[in-house]
Amino acid sequence: MLFTRSLRTLAQVRPCVSVLRRGFHNGRDDPMGFMVPIVVEQTGRGERSYDIYSRLLKERIICLMGPINDHVSSLVVAQLLFLQSESSKKPIHMYINSPGGVVTAGLGIYDTMQYVLPPIATWCVGQASSMASLLLCAGAPGMRHSLPNSRIMIHQPHGGAQGQATDIQIQAKEILTLKTKINNLYVKHSLQSLETIEKNMERDHFLSAEEAKEFGLIDQVLVHPPQPGEEST
């Protein structure tokens, strides 16, 4: 189980506690806007430092944390394409803790997840709401996970329009088209009927990890790291 293996791997990395900086170690801005730890790894050629997210990327782990916008979408899409170029068979693990965000940005991530060849395991840590819940359930069948106290929320897309009456009519038609598209994607991944999806997405619908499993949004709830010879629940 990569969740356990990645923790074990990082436990072998000596943290450089005194080195903290805003943004990624290579100069990119941190999309979450807080201080990013730098870790130092001992190699045969000496020490090598990474920001924590680059170190996790070496283990084929992508962290989707915070609101989904065009900037976050571009980072996640780039990481997915990079990991596919590294290996088209090894699974990619995407950890999600997000309240959702811009629909088009989320659909860009979704389409890339479906496009790349490696199977994608999704993990909900904290919350996966709105568009983030669609990304959670869009993982490879049997590889969609949640930690036990995470919350998943689904609802219909939000939108607003202003301007001339004709412009408002165009925008209203577009958001209804998006609503239909997103409903059908939930049908595809949850195997629920369209009527059930439409009913549950009419308003904010919150689910616990176990309820999300019963609804078909995830496959497993990871209560604790599996022991040797033990499967996760």
The CATH number of residue 160's host domain is 3.90.226.10
From 14, 37, 59, give the residue that closes a domain: 59
In a shared domain, residues 174 and 112: yes
Active site positions, annotated: 130, 155
By the 8 A CB rule, do 96 and 58 touch? no
Q: Of 80, 82, 90, 197, which is closest to residue 134 (Cα–Cα)?
A: 197
- Res 167: pLDDT: 85
Domain count, the chain: 2
In a shared domain, residues 105 and 164: yes
**pTM assigned to the model:** 0.81
Residue with tokens 């005194």: 18
Q: 209 is in which domain, residue-wise? A: 62-233
In tens digits, what is the pLDDT along the chain, a chain of 233 residues? Answer: 444 444 444 444 333 332 333 333 333 445 455 688 888 877 778 787 878 899 899 999 999 999 999 999 999 999 999 999 999 999 999 999 999 999 999 999 999 999 999 999 999 999 999 999 999 999 999 999 999 999 999 999 887 777 888 888 888 899 999 999 999 999 999 999 999 999 999 999 999 999 999 999 999 999 876 666 655 54
- Res 229: pLDDT: 61
Residue with tokens 């609802």: 155
Report the distance separating Cα 18 and Cα 189, nearest Å.
44
Sign, Cα dihedral of 61, 65, 68, 70? negative
From 42, 59, 76, give the residue that closes a domain: 59
Length of the chain: 233
User: Helices 103-115 and 165-190 meet at what angle, rounded to 10?
Assistant: 40
In a shared domain, residues 81 and 130: yes
Sign, Cα dihedral of 1, 114, 98, 65? positive
